[in-house]
Amino acid sequence: MSKINRNDPCLCGSGKKYKKCCMNGNTVSIEKLVEADVSIAQTELIDYAIKYYDQPMRDKVNELMTDLDVPSSAKDMFTFQAMLWTILHEPTEFGQTVLQEYSEKNASKWKRERVRHIIESWTVSEPVVGEVNNVADNVIALTDCFTGEQRSIRVVAEDRLPQQGNMLIGFMLSFEDSHVFFKDIINITSADSNLVLQHLFHMYKDSGQQSSVEWLRQSYLQTIWESLYRQLDVRPDQKIEWKNEKEESVASLLKEMMNKEELPGDIIEFAIELWAKYCEYKEPKIRNERIYAASLHYLVTQVTKVHTKTQQEFAVLYDLTSSSISTRYREMEKALEEEIEQFHVAVREVEKNLQEEVTTS
């Protein structure tokens, strides 16, 4: 490779001479510049869609909201996801998607050749549901939960780095030999992911489709709505009719304390369901709500292995003695033996489905 001269155009594509740019050694790396341009291009793509297809997109989003019966409380969150899906997959009156149209009309305007090629490759997007294996140097190593395929995804926004073990749902766009996510992604904690993934597998199998990619592309909005908003955001204690104020008071205290401990939504849901079953089985005469809430809180963390603490730590948390928790915990564990086993069966089923998908891919 020949040596670049001081007065030659800089290889980073800035348009400046080398001596006025990267020769100084204190400039932003070429990779960072390319990533920044790609992030800007994604924003421009959304602006382009709003400028030329605002009303058709609004009509489509409203249609989707009606079809899926999305409540007003989830409107903003759903609207943005629906807009992204429409940009990527809904043909315009001219037969192309907004993504394809933007790519054809705007790729050539970018100065850097690498950026031009990246945007030219944006003809289709691919949905993915994957588990984060590692995050290093702004690159996510992701395993596709359906196929077992390994994915390499560039992160072009610092505030979007997920934690290892989290599950991500989103649309990928090409980035040379890897990918980038298109704007917003669904980032699910490892504690919540089993419930969501189990629901996804059932939806996929019920669809009868062979390709998980095609199924997810067609059913993406229904998938995130059913799996996230319905499964994680709708709490059963809102629908349970408690027999008395004491039972309801325990449920409220339990939920309050679990939220303070930042337990995942599905774990709180599981706890409330267990409390409802326990009340049905035992019809407890409740004198101290804190004992029941603390004992069930401890039981749930032992069963799920999420945010585990010792009985003494729970006693401090609820201002009780550890012996009072221990006695009630053992009684609850015995009374709820069947429900606890059902939970473990569900977890094993998810693990089995994952292994089968990886084996057959």
Averaged over successive runs of 10 residues, the pLDDT of the chain (361 residues) comes to 62 63 63 90 95 94 85 72 92 95 95 94 93 91 94 79 87 94 84 78 86 89 72 50 91 89 81 94 94 96 88 94 95 93 76 58 53
Query: Residue type for 72, please?
Result: S
Which pLDDT belongs to residue 186?
A: 84
Which pLDDT belongs to residue 7?
A: 74
Which pLDDT belongs to residue 355?
A: 61
Considering the domain delimited by 126-230, tell me its CATH architecture: Beta Barrel (2.40)
* Angstrom distance (rounded) from CA 194 to CA 217: 21
Q: Which of 10, 13, 17, 19 is nearest to 37 (CA)?
A: 13
* Angstrom distance (rounded) from CA 177 to CA 16: 28
End-to-end CA distance of the chain: 42
- CA dihedral of 184, 226, 250, 326, whole degrees rounded to 10: -90
Which pLDDT belongs to residue 99?
A: 97
Which neighbouring-strand residues pair with 128?
170
CA distances (Å), origin 176, targets 90, 100, 119 = 25, 17, 10
Q: Which of 31, 28, 8, 32 is nearest to 20 (CA)?
A: 8
- In a 13 Å sphere around the CA of 315, the CA atoms on its Cβ side amount to 13
Tokens of 25: 């050694």
Which pLDDT belongs to residue 229?
A: 61
Spacing of C-alpha 263 from chain mean position:
16
Instruction: Kindly give the pairing relationship between strand 150-154 and strand 126-136.
Output: unpaired
* Model pTM above 0.85: no
User: Taking a C-beta distance cutoff of 8 angstroms, is the pair 354, 145 a contact?
Assistant: yes
CA distances (Å), origin 243, targets 77, 284, 285, 331 = 35, 11, 11, 20
Q: Give domain limits for the chain.
A: 32-119, 126-230, 245-356
Fold exhibited by the domain 245-356: Cyclin A; domain 1 (1.10.472)
* Angstrom distance (rounded) from CA 100 to CA 323: 66
Q: Which of 105, 111, 129, 135 is nearest to 45 (CA)?
A: 105
Query: Apex CA 275: angle with CA 332 and CA 264, to 5°?
Result: 110
